[in-house]
């Protein structure tokens, strides 16, 4: 297992606050000098299938940045330790909508791909999530969500620095 870390911004930039993850990773790229070696950033946007295949390349840690609805006020940040196992709630059978893939769907697909094609699953999976205010059509984040972007970057930096200091399992 390598020590590589992938930070992926997920979301649709044409649906206001749903673009939070993409904007957070874009802004974090401007702070690349603060990232430890082995950390890669990815604007996954709505390309969940591409993200799942990329993860099979062997990352020790995955950090997804996205919106999450947990009942808090817009702009509230959450750090969720998903763990390496497949999600408990899996999407039902039927056609895969590649334009509506939330983190749980991506992780379920990743485990299905791993079962069929092999590859390496991440040992650690986290979601840095932000409570959305408005996910209707539009390209601007609402003010509370826009105000949480840099703080989300700080949370990501804390996680990836910690991930880099944890001994690797063999």
Query: Over the stretch 108-155, which tens digit does the pLDDT of each residue have?
Result: 666 566 555 556 678 888 999 999 999 999 999 999 999 999 999 999
**How does pLDDT run across 47-71, given as a tens digit for each residue?**
777 777 787 778 888 899 999 989 9
For Cα atoms 36, 41, 46, give the angle at the middle one, nearest 5 degrees.
160
What mean pLDDT is predicted for residues 22-34?
A: 95
What 3 state SS string does 106-146 have? HHHHHHHHHHHHCCECCCEEEEEEECCCCCCCECCCCHHHH
Q: Is the pLDDT of residue 22 over 70?
A: yes
What mean pLDDT is predicted for residues 84-90?
A: 57
What mean pLDDT is predicted for residues 7-32?
A: 94
């Amino acid at each position: 297992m390598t020590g590589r870390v992938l930070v992926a911004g997920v979301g649709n930039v044409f649906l206001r606050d749903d673009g939070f993850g993409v904007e957070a990773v874009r802004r974090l790229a401007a702070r690349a000098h603060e990232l430890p070696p082995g950390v890669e950033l990815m604007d996954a946007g709505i390309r969940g299938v591409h993200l799942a295949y990329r993860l099979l390349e062997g990352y020790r840690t995955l950090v997804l940045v996205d919106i999450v609805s947990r009942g808090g006020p817009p702009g509230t940040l959450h750090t969720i330790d998903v763990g390496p196992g497949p999600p408990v709630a899996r999407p039902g059978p039927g056609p895969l909508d590649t334009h509506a893939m939330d983190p749980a769907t991506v992780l379920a697909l990743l485990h299905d791909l791993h079962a069929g094609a092999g590859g390496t699953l991440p040992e650690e999976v986290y979601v840095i999530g932000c409570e959305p205010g408005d996910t209707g059509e539009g390209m601007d984040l609402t003010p509370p969500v826009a105000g949480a972007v840099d703080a989300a970057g700080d949370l990501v930096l804390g996680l990836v620095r910690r991930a880099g200091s944890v001994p690797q399992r063999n």
